[in-house]
Amino acid sequence: MIPEIFQLAGELPARRLGYGTAQLTGPGYWGPRGEARDAVAVLRRAVERGVTLIDTADNYGPSVAEELVAEALYPYPDGLVIATKGGVVRTGPDAWHIEGRPERLRAMCEASLRRLRLDTIDLYQLHRLDPDVPMAEQLGALDELRREGKIRHLGLDSVTPGQLEAARELTNIASVQNRYNLTDRASEPLLKLCEAHGIAFLPWFPLGNGSLTTDRAGTDIAAAHGVSADIAAAHGVSPGQIALAWLLHRSPVLCPTPGTGSLAHLEENLDAAAVRLRAEDMSRLDALS
């Protein structure tokens, strides 16, 4: 039986297949991707389909994605978990600058609260650890915001197992976000650590930034396409749905939040939750590491 729900921090339920908002922004995650009404329609449809975990970030746009979430979904329905991130400053398309000074983290969080029209952010994730600021200072600033009621739970993005262990000695960590998908499993040791401690793992690029949804002959993932296409044909679904179903079967702490600006692609992604992979399917997919 594949669990449908994950309890964040052991007390905040969310459906494991969520929705990520990065694809609502333009090239280089800069500016809007298209018309706001189209993004609003996708967000509303995701919630209509039962999504209860929306993953966004202050620097998607920047600000664009958070504003769209509020425009589409506020007032938020009961049970909807909003996760956002801070700790990175944007200066242009694909330009990312880590910023972990406590005063800047506080300002970022409070700006997200305003854009999202929230009093409390359910899950606030440090987008990157700043190597120039002690971890204790960065997490201490977020812990202070949590004590003030502005954050409910804390998460980390792009960390090593050692960094997660060090962070856990300083505060409670409810989630991590690292790159992880059918063909990229460098974060496997981190996944095992999350399993051991009941920490949600929100894999970014769960569809390989689109590479696992279409056949790209000649790339290093061509073999994966052949295997996933065979399994997809047997189930009457798409290779992208197999990639998402594999994540849901792989570990009960994996909570993928694939993003898209297309209603049709959204429906396809969410239908992956109904795919039931057989033991032999999992063996073949596991072997693609």
Rounded Cα gap, residues 229 and 231, in angstroms: 5
Active-site residue (options: 60, 74, 124, 180): 60
Which portions of the chain are predicted below pLDDT 50? 216-218, 220
Which amino acid type is present at position 185?
R
Q: What is the pLDDT of residues 263-285, one digit of tens each?
A: 999 999 999 999 999 999 999 99
Rounded Cα gap, residues 179 and 185, in angstroms: 8
The strand order across the sheet containing 19-20 reads 19-20, 53-55, 81-86, 121-126, 151-157, 175-177, 200-201
pLDDT at residue 220, rounded to an integer = 47
Of the CA atoms within 13 Å of residue 116, those in its CB half-sphere come to: 29
Which amino acid type is present at position 118?
L
Dihedral sign (CA 192, 195, 199, 203):
positive
pLDDT at residue 217, rounded to an integer = 43
Rounded Cα gap, residues 79 and 69, in angstroms: 15
> What are the chain's domains?
12-177 (3.20.20.100)
pLDDT at residue 1, rounded to an integer = 79
Rounded Cα gap, residues 211 and 216, in angstroms: 7
- Residue 29 among the catalytic residues: no
pLDDT at residue 223, rounded to an integer = 65
Rounded Cα gap, residues 50 and 46, in angstroms: 7
Helix (H, G, I), strand (E, B) or coil at 243: helix
pLDDT at residue 238, rounded to an integer = 95
